[in-house]
Copies of this chain bind each other. A is one copy, B any other.
Amino acid sequence: MLGMKTKKVAIVGASGYSGEVLVQLLLNHPHANLVAVTSRQHAGQTLAQVFPKFASHPKTKTLRFTEPNAEVLAKQADVVFLALPHGVAAEYAVPLLAAGRIVIDLSADFRLKSAAVYKEFYAHDHPAPDLLKKSVYGLPEIYRAQIKKSLLIASPGCYPTSILLPLIPLLKAGLVKPTGIIADSLSGVSGAGRKAEVDYLFCECNESVRPYGVPKHRHLSEIEEQLSLAAKSPVVIQFTPHLIPVNRGILTTLYLEPAEKLTEEKISACYQKFYGDETFVRLLEGKSLPDTKNVQGTNVIEIAWRLDSRTNRLIVMSAEDNLVKGASGQAVQSLNILCGFPETAGLV
């Protein structure tokens, strides 16, 4: 039966940090068979050469990076993950979908419903606007049913995941106002990618804490689109990202205004209803607060909240690994859902 279910999977753009985590997860996935990895830079090298840390897995000795070629990939794989910069992913998604392949895209290319908003935030025309209707936003806890039936998954960004998962239940239940929302986020440096830029050198990040991209970060586009869907009204939020000297992890603090007379019981009940049965959402109780070290390397998002009677605000805090739940782990979770694998297969 295990053999029956196994899917052949490929990764396009496997040499960045998200690609690396995808390689790790798919090499060890019980129902996926990693058949191809592409990288312009590393074409010809084995996985073991590029990622010594995975070299104990036998397949890494033989599987070599190739130049990305959609036609070839369509013949090799059932499912293709795209870990490419935005604007580039669409080039591969179009022919792969045309060839009947499933595409799980980790870029921003298919996350928005509106090509106009895409242009506003990404500063160029959308390369394949027709596909925006077909793609599903790959947030499994929210769109599980749609993911199951989709051929094109737009896996969410790291910041959006850390904001949307704690916020959507509250908005859907009408417990908080859709106005005045503030998301203050702290991200590890891997969020910037494996790019040779002075700003991300060790000595520029260590012993440094700094905001950036204030006030209009690109991720706002998908965050606000998803929040608007949840609230059934247009939502505009304040979002401030900060760079923090850790490799992996996002910590988000949300400042929310109650829509009604809120009680701790109502909030707890709302989260329990939405996430009580979710393996990858950890609702913290008692005095615990989220800590990125408790989710590092896992597909879990931690959520805690405090109702502040002094200010009449609800503070919600989340922690995730930006490369796992915020990127590659969540993408594999979508793979599991749409292929009918156990949702936790290959994930911790």
Interface positions of A (Cβ within 8 A of B): 17, 28, 52-53, 55-56, 180, 182, 184, 186, 188-190, 194-198, 200-212, 214-216, 236-238, 240, 242, 244-249, 251, 253, 255, 279-280, 282, 284, 288-298, 300, 302, 306, 308, 310-311, 313, 315, 317, 319, 348
Q: Of B209, B238, B244, B308, which one neighbours A215 at CB under 8 angstroms?
A: B308
Q: Is the interface of A mostly helix, strand, loop or mixed?
A: loop
Minimal Cβ-Cβ distance residue in B for A199: B196
- B56–A211 contact, CB under 8 A? no
State the CA gap A55–B255 with chains docked (Å): 26
State the CA gap A244–B205 with chains docked (Å): 12
Residues of B within 8 A of A206 (CB): 189, 202, 206, 245-247
Q: Select the residue from A28, A194, A244 with max chain B CB neighbours within 10 A.
A: A244
State the CA gap A203–B240 with chains docked (Å): 22
A192 to chain B, nearest CB (A): 9
A17 to chain B, nearest CB (A): 7
Minimal Cβ-Cβ distance residue in B for A246: B207
- A238–B311 contact, CB under 8 A? yes
9 A-B pairs with least C-beta separation: A208-B293, A215-B308, A202-B205, A210-B291, A53-B294, A189-B202, A184-B184, A209-B251, A196-B196
Residues of B within 8 A of A237 (CB): 311
State the CA gap A296–B297 with chains docked (Å): 12
- A211–B293 contact, CB under 8 A? no
State the CA gap A159–B316 with chains docked (Å): 21
State the CA gap A289–B246 with chains docked (Å): 20
Minimal Cβ-Cβ distance residue in B for A288: B52
- A297–B298 contact, CB under 8 A? no
Q: Select the residue from A56, A236, A292 with max chain B CB neighbours within 10 A.
A: A56
Q: Of B215, B280, B310, which one neighbours A236 at CB under 8 angstroms?
A: B310
- B53–A298 contact, CB under 8 A? yes
Chain A to chain B contacts (Cβ below 8 Å), 12 pairs: A52-B302, A56-B282, A182-B182, A186-B244, A194-B201, A196-B201, A207-B247, A208-B291, A209-B292, A214-B315, A215-B308, A238-B315
Residues of B within 8 A of A247 (CB): 202-203, 206-207
Once A56-B279, A196-B201, A206-B247 are accepted as A-B contacts, the answer to whether A253 and B211 lie under 8 Å apart by CB is yes
- B253–A242 contact, CB under 8 A? yes
- B198–A196 contact, CB under 8 A? yes
Given A238-B308, A245-B246, 19 further pairs, Cβ under 8 A: A52-B294, A56-B279, A184-B184, A186-B209, A194-B198, A200-B202, A202-B204, A203-B247, A206-B247, A209-B244, A209-B292, A210-B292, A211-B317, A214-B289, A214-B315, A215-B308, A215-B315, A238-B255, A240-B315
Once A186-B186, A238-B315 are accepted as A-B contacts, the answer to whether A297 and B297 lie under 8 Å apart by CB is yes
State the CA gap A53–B255 with chains docked (Å): 25
Once A186-B209, A189-B203 are accepted as A-B contacts, the answer to whether A284 and B52 lie under 8 Å apart by CB is yes
Once A255-B255, A298-B56, A348-B28 are accepted as A-B contacts, the answer to whether A291 and B236 lie under 8 Å apart by CB is no
A218 to chain B, nearest CB (A): 13
- A212–B28 contact, CB under 8 A? no
Once A202-B189, A205-B202 are accepted as A-B contacts, the answer to whether A210 and B310 lie under 8 Å apart by CB is no
State the CA gap A37–B311 with chains docked (Å): 43
